[in-house]
Amino acid sequence: MIQFPEESKMYEERGFAARVGFGENPALLIIDFIKGFTDTECPLGSNLDVQVENTAKLLRIFREKSLPVHFTTTAYDPEMISAGIFVKKVPSLAHLKLGSKWVEIDERLKPQNGEVVWIKHYASAFFGTSLSSALLAKRIDTLLITGCTTSGCVRASAVDACQHGFRTMVVRDCVGDRSNYAHEANLFDLNAKYADVVSLEEAIEYLSKLSK
């Protein structure tokens, strides 16, 4: 774990990094733990075994308590029209075409009936989807975020979650990135401005205290 002691002190002195805290009605958002990102045979992939296993622990608790679970995948039409300018910046996105195995959710986290898989085209789980409306319809006030990558889709989704008014909890042990430097720097910045970065233990303790 990379530490930023000087920056942390400066941020706290200037009124950043306060804690929002957990609410009463949580949902789990599992971002892009798809085969294209968790299998190193795909150019987009990296070893995220630990993060997937930790997310599976959290997922089991949500299912045991019958709490809402949402997944995302990133997938495009065969001609990549829906990828817009994004694919010009990241040509490897061409691997993520509808029907390809790479856009499927990792088998270790296979969705069950009643769990939505949102198809997105860009970084944020909220952009171009009805995720916010679905959460608000269930009176969700707290969003626990897991997935990949920390510097990309996790970050964008956490920022949007904050902007949509949710108590945003990024579970440190359940998110990962191709670059550890990008991972740590983005967790630091998210915790300073947009979300509470919490441990898996904190998340489990919170869920254990819920009545339902």
Map tokens 């990133």 to a residue: 74
Distance between CA 74 and CA 186 in Å, rounded? Answer: 21
8 occurs within a structural domain: no
Contact 51, 146 (CB under 8 A): yes
Question: Has residue 7 been placed in a domain?
Answer: no
Contact 212, 65 (CB under 8 A): yes
**How confident is the model over 130-154, as a mean pLDDT?**
98
Examine residue 1 and state whether it is found in any structural domain, yes or no.
no
Name the strands in the sheet holding 116-120, side by side, starting at the edge strand that comes first in the sequence.
116-120, 69-74, 26-31, 142-148, 167-176, 196-198
Residue 45 covered by a domain: yes
pLDDT band at 205 (very low <50, low <70, confident <90, very high): very high
Residue 137: give the domain boundaries. Answer: 23-208
Do the domain assignments include residue 5? no
pLDDT, position 3: 66
pLDDT of residue 8: 75
**What is the reported pTM?**
0.95
Whether 16 is covered by a domain: the verdict is no
Q: What is the pLDDT of residues 116-129, one digit of tens each?
A: 999 999 999 999 99
Is 174 one of the annotated active-site residues of the chain? no
Give me the chain's average pLDDT, please: 95
CA atoms within 13 A on the CB side of 111: 21
- Annotated catalytic residue: which of 42, 148, 153, 174? 153
Please write the tens of the pLDDT for every residue from 157-197. Answer: 999 999 999 999 999 999 999 999 999 999 999 999 999 99
Q: What is the pLDDT of residues 57-98, one digit of tens each?
A: 999 999 999 999 999 999 999 999 999 999 999 999 999 999
Confidence bin at 106 (pLDDT 50/70/90): very high
Residue 38 included in any domain:
yes
CB–CB of 143/127 below 8 Å?
Answer: no
Return all residues near 19 (Cβ < 8 A) that are at least 6 apart: 196
Is residue 6 domain-resident?
no
CATH number at residue 172: 3.40.50.850
Rounded distance between C-alpha atoms, residue 176 and residue 72, angstroms: 15
- Count up the domains in the chain and report the number: 1
Share of the chain above pLDDT 90, in %: 91
Instruction: Count the Cβ atoms, other than its own, within 10 Å of residue 189.
Output: 20
